[in-house]
Each structure stands twice: as structure tokens, then as C-alpha cells.
Amino acid sequence: MDSNILYTQEGVVVISYTTLVSSPLSLKDSIEHAFGSGSRSLGIIIVRDLPPVYITYRERLLKLAYHFANLDESTRDKHVHAESRYR
């Protein structure tokens, strides 16, 4: 594992919210290790030092996601992004 990248004991990449906001390009290697195609890439990243307001944002997003998931399929289909295979 790269010594300049922070990992959990399980091998998950950890980045700082402050660095993500102030200097995102400096996290290039960390993000590549987290989401790359290598055998150690787990497809997950932990963002530490989140601001307190994050809790409010998270709750709001989860409520919106619930409501969106319960819309009829024809309404949800209007938001499909075929090029990215996002559904």
C-alpha cells in the first residue's frame, strides 16, 4: 500500500473533508486507489472530519431518496441517464 495514502485496518482509503474541499487535486492518488481497477481497490472511500451540518444534509437526502424510490416507475424513468447506465 502507498505510504502517502491513509487506510483503515481493513484497507479502505480515508480522506479528509477539509482536504477534499481545499485541495481536491492532492487526493488524486487516494481516489484512484479507492476506485481504481487494481486488486486492492475496494470501491469505497471514507471521508473524515465532516462538518456538523452534514448530519442535516444526510437526513434530507435519505428522505428525498425514499420519496423518489416510491414514485411511479414512469416518473422515475424520466431521470434515467442511459449514457452512464444510471437508473
User: Does residue 12 contact residue 46 with C-beta atoms inside 8 Å?
Assistant: yes
Q: What is the DSSP string of 12-62?
A: -EEEEHHHHHH-GGGGHHHHHHHHSSSTT--S-EEEES--TTHHHHHHHHH
Strand order of the sheet with strand 45-48? 6-7, 13-16, 45-48
Higher pLDDT pick, 39 / 59: 59
| pTM for this model (two decimals) | 0.71
Tell me which amino acid residue 26 is: S
Q: Which pLDDT tens digit goes with each residue over 8-55?
A: 999 999 999 999 999 999 999 999 999 999 888 999 999 999 999 999
